[in-house]
Amino acid sequence: MASLLDKINTLISANLHAMVDKALQSNSVAVMDEYIRQAEDNLDKLEDATATVGGEVKTLKRKADENAAEAAKLDHDIDALLQQSREDLATAAQSKYNTTQRMAAQYKEQYERQQAEYQTLLDAKLKLEAKLTTTKQEREEMLALLDLAKSKELTVKTMKSLDDVMGSGDADIARVGESIRARLDKASAKSEMMSTRLDDQMDEVLGKGELNNQLADRKKRLGLSS
């Protein structure tokens, strides 16, 4: 369990900015795809472990309650037997009461320990799910940006070819080339506008950390944080 939680904590603490930088530098979202693959795989394992521990918590709680109830009944029976001068039966009941009371305490201790571990797993699951969702959103943003970059590169390459054509001296070819180039200029301008909007969206997503810090400060001021 400790090894799984170590992996989960590593994935949760992964630097999203660093992943985005690597994706931009390599013109590929492979690094983000690998993170998503690992996160999803470990999330499946975490969900299974959480369900297992959650089941153990319920079992331990039930056994603790059952033994506590039986001990309470035995405690009442012992008093009744003593009042009836049945000390032999009271002695046997007292022995059973001691064992039952001890079992109830042990189950209660195990329950509380497992409950704490169960809560730790639930918290880790929520954090990893949130990180995975954010990373998937970033991946889609990166794909859009990379597609725009490829489109711009193609536009530049096409314009260079048109420069060569327009220098051939043929007036008709030159006019056709100029017309095509004007269309490419317009397409490039639209591409730049889309890129700007996507850049703004990326800034908004990557700026969530600052917003979270601001909200944390506000909660602290209002006495809402622990």
Q: How far is CA 21 from CA 4, 29, 57, 72, 89, in A?
A: 28, 10, 43, 64, 78
Q: How confident is the model at residue 163 (pLDDT cuts 50, 70, 90)?
A: low
The pLDDT of 122-130, averaged and rounded, is 94
Q: Which of 74-83, 127-136, 154-163 has the lowest mean pLDDT?
A: 154-163
Output the pLDDT for position 207. Answer: 59
What is the CA 54 to chain-centroid distance, rounded? 19
pLDDT digits (tens, 9 = 90+) for 73-111: 999 999 999 999 999 999 999 999 999 999 999 999 999
Sequence spans of domains, the chain: 2-222
Q: How far is CA 89 from CA 20, 73, 94, 100, 201, in A?
A: 75, 14, 8, 16, 78
Backbone φ and ψ for 172, nearest 5 degrees, come out as: -65, -45
The pLDDT of 190-201, averaged and rounded, is 58
What is the CA 114 to chain-centroid distance, rounded? 23
Q: How confident is the model at residue 210 (pLDDT cuts 50, 70, 90)?
A: low
Residues above pLDDT 90, as percent of the chain: 47
* Residue 109 half-sphere exposure toward CB, CA atoms < 13 A: 6
Instruction: Report how far residue 118's alpha carbon sits from residue 6's, in angstroms, rounded to the nearest whole number.
Output: 15
Q: How confident is the model at residue 215 (pLDDT cuts 50, 70, 90)?
A: confident
Instruction: Report how far residue 214's alpha carbon sits from residue 179's, in angstroms, rounded to the nearest whole number.
Output: 52
Q: How confident is the model at residue 202 (pLDDT cuts 50, 70, 90)?
A: low
Output the pLDDT for position 115. Answer: 96
- The alpha carbons of the chain give a radius of gyration, in whole angstroms, of 34
Backbone φ and ψ for 168, nearest 5 degrees, come out as: -80, -15
Helix (H, G, I), strand (E, B) or coil at 125: helix
Output the pLDDT for position 213. Answer: 75
**Element holding 63 (H helix, E strand):** helix 30-83
Given a cut of 90, is residue 36 above it in pLDDT?
A: yes
Confirm if 14 and 131 have CB atoms less than 8 A apart.
yes
Listed residue (146, 147, 170, 149) closest to 162, CA to CA = 170
Instruction: Report how far residue 26's alpha carbon sits from residue 114's, in angstroms, rounded to the nearest whole number.
Output: 45
Instruction: Report how far residue 26's alpha carbon sits from residue 203's, in angstroms, rounded to the nearest whole number.
Output: 20
Q: How confident is the model at residue 220 (pLDDT cuts 50, 70, 90)?
A: confident
